[in-house]
Amino acid sequence: MSKLVKDTEKILADNLHGPGGGLEVLSLAAPLFISQACETVMLFTDRLFLAKLGPEQMAATMGGGLTSFMFVTFFAGLIGYSTAMVAQNLGANRSSRCAVVTTQSLIVALLAYPVVLSCMPLGSLIFTKAGISPEQMKYQVPYFQILMFGQITVLLRCSLGSFFNGIGKTRIIMISNIACMVCNVGLNYLLVFGKLGFPQLGIRGAAYGTVVSGGVGLLVLCFAYFSKTNMRQYAIMSCFRFSKDLMKEMLVLGYPAGLEQCLNLVGFTLMVTAFHSQGTVVASAVTITFNWDLVSFIPLIGVNIAVTSLVGRYVGARDLQTAQRSVFSALKLALIYSVFLLIPFGFFTEHMVNLFRPLEVSSGFEQIQELAVFMVRFIAFYVIADAVLIVFSGALRGAGDTFWTMVISVSMHFMFAFTAFLMFNVFGASPKVVWIMIITLFITFGPLLFLRYRSGHWKKKLVFLVPEESERETGVTAERVQ
């Protein structure tokens, strides 16, 4: 018995302790996990509240929300690459450059906002051409337009959040997202249903609540970024300058990540649109399904960001062995989470779907429920593949191998969209058959990213950190700045 205990303690020590171990990954991932869970709660409650007013408003939140986010994803992905850059500079003992990286990302965010706003007419055109029903359109268009005006907070939160992710202070992101969630759920309840003297705005209220809560989350990040400790440690006030070297690095290595997120969401939106074009029953069922898919997927993004940060940090320090250890520690964490998800998706599906039953009796909900239960149950088949995909995509990005990660991920999402449109419009397949095909395709893509990682090509793409022009000229280092 004593030998078994000792062996168990050794296994736990080998897996949990030290650089790149499970505890280090967990210390970064746990706050991010909570942060992403807050994002899930916000999206989930928006649709849950509006489901009580009718299936059209619930479906409109998904179509309008996805399309508004689609126009900002390229810039969010590009800005998000600054997580890896900040981590790499921190690992290379150039912490004075971390805030300079963030300044470049803030510049990108401010320049991107007018471009995002100019896409508003295109969004309305997409809804019209997609064949969305008039009942859903009257809710979807105003929801989309209000969210588009609020995308500046998304870009700025992404920029400041990437700084804290890169330096490993993920608790600040957690606090920001908790504040955002509390504000969002409270405001949406008041504005959607018209409580405590507020007007009943329905779907418009949900959009206003989302935009205002995003501003609250941004304020929390600003207070943390400009705190005395942070300004002293990273010389924040002296870092508000344009850096040709760092901007070039962000654009060259970050554009595949931005393009990947943008094209992924385009593909995903097209797939959702294919389902929505099949009528209110199918649109409502797939919206309920993706609400629960969000519960399984978004918290894993915390693991993804943690892997990107740790791999970037250890790659910057030229410690490839610890970088690889971080990857497999994260994989174990993600797989444990995914296994626990099998229980609710497999055994409590009907209860999960019934949460979205409208307040008023609706005979059509029985059809929606039957299809949604079928779809939600099938999510259980790909949660493990989801964990593999999330971990290895984060590892490859942290090491700078962004191009092939983009190719694999974008191919996956457009294959989903192509499959949905082909099977609906050419073969006349039922929604259940189409859903089975998409789940089957999804399961194959996690192993592809693992094979890319296993090939070792990412080791040839290490980002060699060179001093900035100002540092080369003056010899100023991070240590001297501090």
- What are the residue ranges spanned by the domains of the chain? 19-464
Q: So what's the pLDDT on residue 114?
A: 94
From residue 365, alpha-carbon distances to 52, 173, 362, 459, 475 in Å are 12, 38, 6, 53, 69
Gap between the Cα atoms of 284 and 424, Å rounded: 17
Where is average pLDDT lowest: 346-350, 355-359, 467-471? 467-471
User: For 448-463, what is each residue's pLDDT tens digit?
Assistant: 888 888 877 766 655 4
User: For 272-298, what is each residue's pLDDT tens digit?
Assistant: 888 877 887 888 888 888 878 777 776
Judge whether residue 327 has pLDDT over 60: yes
User: For 396-431, what is each residue's pLDDT tens digit?
Assistant: 877 777 777 778 888 888 888 888 888 888 888 888
Q: So what's the pLDDT on residue 2?
A: 53
Yes or no: say if 81 and 254 are a contact pair by the CB < 8 Å rule: yes
User: For 215-235, what is each residue's pLDDT tens digit?
Assistant: 999 999 999 999 988 888 888
Q: Is the pTM of this model over 0.85?
A: no
Q: So what's the pLDDT on residue 372?
A: 87
Judge whether residue 479 has pLDDT over 60: no
Judge whether residue 62 has pLDDT over 80: no
Tell me what the pLDDT averaged over the chain comes to: 80
Yes or no: say if 57 and 50 are a contact pair by the CB < 8 Å rule: yes
pLDDT-based confidence at 16, cuts 50/70/90?
A: low
Q: So what's the pLDDT on residue 225?
A: 93
Q: Which two tokens stand for residue 164?
A: 């804290």
